[in-house]
């Protein structure tokens, strides 16, 4: 078995837990592939002959049984650009605040390793969103787990976003921006802008305006077999395109369309995922302090 380990960086809390994780993996004779920049925080890792290193997606192949993400939900989003279409499952150990995607606590490290060894985990397949643009944007990774968003630049006036479903006109949004969210991303930026929450297995996209200048404009849920395209108008010559936590500044005459990605991301869970329970515990859904 081969396990890759990724994190954005190592604080004191992650450093101690990483040592525990490495010891547990070595106890089971698991081959370890560690994200190379992490060795800069602990030079002794460089001298550990049982550890190999990777620097990017090109170093990962189908021989990797799982990628362990140490961090928060943002770290999970990073792993999407690493595993790409290689069908490598991701297991998230939460060191962040919310832990909606990275749902396994750091106290469960030993249990998580046992689940990997014995293959007693659950696999949750999550759909992705793909961006087609002319000129092309986001290099080799024009896809995301949470959302694609169009946004005006920091101090520019609102923009007008003409939106189409399979070429048929949907609406013109006068707003600061527009979000097209996957079911996974519906609990993120979309929810913060008043959009609805949809179940992860829902085959849908959620289109939500950001600060619309109309009282009668609301979010809409559409089937994810639609191709959603956009035309942008505005006083500024540029606007911002966002895929998850990545962004690019583009000219307003760029051609943009989003669709469902051909492959999915596989999230590993220690037990069966109860989405309603997660909403209550992570987002305090329905919490009433009077009861």
75: left (phi over 0), alpha (psi -120 to 50) or beta: alpha
Distance between CA 157 and CA 121 in Å, rounded? 49
Which residues, other chains included, contact 190 with Cβ-Cβ below 8 Å and sequence gap of 6+? 147, 179, 181, 196, 206, 208, 219
Q: CA 56, 266, 46: angle at the middle one, nearest 5?
A: 30
- DSSP run (H or E) holding 79: helix 73-83
Catalytically annotated residues: 73
Distances from the Cα of 193 to the Cα of 169, 189, 223, 272, angstroms: 23, 6, 20, 29
Distance between CA 261 and CA 221 in Å, rounded? 18
How far is residue 137 CA from its own chain's centroid? 18
Backbone phi and psi for residue 27, each to the nearest 5 degrees, phi listed first: -60, -30
């Amino acid at each position: 078995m081969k396990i890759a380990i990724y994190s954005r960086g190592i604080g004191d809390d992650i450093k101690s837990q990483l040592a525990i994780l490495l010891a547990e993996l070595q106890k089971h004779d698991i081959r370890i592939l560690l994200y190379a920049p992490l060795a800069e925080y602990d030079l002794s890792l460089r001298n550990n002959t049982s550890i190999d290193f990777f620097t990017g997606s090109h170093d990962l192949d189908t021989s990797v049984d799982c990628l362990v993400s140490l961090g928060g939900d943002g770290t999970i989003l990073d792993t999407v650009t690493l595993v790409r279409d290689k069908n490598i499952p991701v297991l998230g150990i939460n060191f962040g605040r919310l832990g909606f995607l990275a749902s396994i606590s750091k106290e469960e490290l030993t249990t998580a390793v046992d689940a990997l060894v014995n293959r007693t985990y659950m696999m949750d397949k999550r759909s992705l969103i793909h961006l087609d643009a002319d000129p092309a944007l986001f290099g080799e990774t024009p896809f995301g787990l949470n959302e694609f968003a169009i946004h005006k630049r920091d101090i520019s006036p609102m923009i007008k976003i003409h939106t189409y479903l399979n070429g048929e006109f949907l609406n013109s949004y006068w707003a600061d921006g527009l979000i097209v969210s996957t079911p996974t991303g519906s609990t993120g930026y979309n929810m913060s802008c008043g959009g609805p929450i949809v179940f992860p297995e829902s085959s849908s996209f959620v289109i939500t305006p950001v600060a619309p200048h109309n009282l009668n404009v609301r979010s809409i849920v559409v089937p994810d077999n639609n191709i959603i395209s956009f035309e942008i108008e505005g006083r500024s010559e540029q606007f911002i395109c966002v895929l998850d936590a990545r962004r690019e500044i583009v000219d307003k005459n760029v051609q943009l369309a989003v669709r469902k990605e051909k492959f999915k991301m596989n999230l590993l869970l220690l037990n069966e995922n109860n989405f309603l329970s997660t909403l209550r515990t992570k987002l305090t859904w329905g919490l009433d302090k009077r009861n």
